[in-house]
């Protein structure tokens, strides 16, 4: 893999333009910024090629609200979704704050992972020109639920008017796990733009968990890595990703499917030759 540039800074946002929201009501109509808890801006300086030694291990967390029995599962799911809504703006503010911090406390809003994929936080409207013109983004994979991007990001129609295709694969924030089917859809979407020499911006709120899981699946497919290798490779570039146990499990399922498909193709090729 060729040189991989990393991304700087944090998008400029005016806090006065944020919507007024009740903690129990969830987000109400707003005007400008976006959400999740982590990273920041773009990239210009070339970043190193994939190292031969493995990057540091990403943190793996536990979903704090999962119930143990069937009776608790439905209530737990609703509670998790509600908590994600309540914490949307506080965690987004934290993401913006970390993007403005200097030194080791700083977190990039987004990072380029390879020549095709960028991984990051919400693509705020103020970032549109940079992503389309500077990063050659022609596809966007949105792992957020609709309420997270409604007021802060381009709509699917607005992206289309800019020549960018959006694929939304809604996943609950904080505790959600992308489905195997959605991982497959997202990877095929990214591969389409890879074949055209164009870039895809993969994001959730902070570019830490949901979108990092999707990017790991892409790396498993493209580079024939194990889930652990894919996560470590992302961590080397974007050290604050946070892959939860359920997300790692679905990556293992995805890896099994990819491995089985490759073995089947190899068997077919051998029998034909």
Distance CA 71, CA 105 (A): 42
Catalytic residue, from 38, 204, 206, 231: name it.
204
Of the two residues 264 and 7, the one the predictor is more confident about is 264
Q: Which residue has the higher pLDDT, 243 or 89?
A: 243
Write out the two tokens for 151: 């007021």
User: Is residue 207 a contact partner of residue 110, using CB atoms and an 8 Å limit?
Assistant: yes
pLDDT of 53 over the 90 cut: no
Could you tell me the two tokens for 150? 């409604």
Q: Which three-class secondary structure state does DSSP give residue 270? A: helix
**CA gap 85, 81 in Å, rounded:** 7
Q: Helices 180-194 and 210-223, interaxial angle, to 10°?
A: 60
Higher pLDDT, 273 or 187: 187
Catalytic residue check, 10: no
pLDDT digits (tens, 9 = 90+) for 199-221: 999 999 999 999 999 999 999 99
pTM of the model: 0.71
Which class in CATH covers the domain with range 33-42+74-272?
alpha beta
């Amino acid at each position: 893999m060729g040189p991989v540039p990393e991304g700087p800074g944090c998008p400029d946002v005016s806090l006065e333009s944020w919507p007024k929201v009740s903690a129990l009501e969830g987000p109400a109509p707003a005007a400008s910024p976006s959400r999740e808890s982590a990273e920041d801006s773009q990239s210009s300086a070339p970043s190193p090629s994939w190292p031969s030694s493995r990057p540091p291990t990403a943190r793996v967390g536990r979903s704090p609200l999962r119930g143990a029995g069937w009776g608790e599962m439905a209530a737990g799911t609703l509670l998790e979704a509600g908590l994600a809504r309540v914490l949307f703006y506080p965690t987004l503010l934290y993401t913006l704050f970390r993007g403005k911090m200097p030194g080791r406390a700083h977190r990039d809003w987004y990072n380029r992972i390879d020549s095709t994929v960028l991984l990051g936080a919400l693509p705020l409207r103020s970032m549109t020109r940079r992503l389309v013109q500077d990063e050659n983004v022609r596809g966007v994979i949105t792992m957020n639920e609709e309420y997270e991007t409604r007021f802060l990001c381009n709509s699917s129609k607005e992206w289309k008017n800019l020549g960018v295709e959006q694929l939304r694969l809604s996943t609950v924030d904080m505790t959600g796990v992308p489905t195997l089917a959605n991982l497959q859809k997202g990877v095929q979407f990214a591969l389409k733009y890879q074949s055209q020499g164009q870039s895809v911006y993969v994001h959730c709120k902070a570019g830490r968990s949901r979108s990092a899981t999707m990017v790991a699946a892409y790396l498993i497919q493209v580079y024939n890595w194990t889930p652990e290798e894919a996560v470590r490779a992302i961590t080397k570039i974007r050290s604050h990703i946070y892959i939860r146990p359920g997300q790692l499990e679905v990556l293992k399922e995805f890896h099994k499917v990819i491995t089985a498909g490759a073995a089947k193709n190899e068997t077919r090729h051998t029998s034909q030759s």
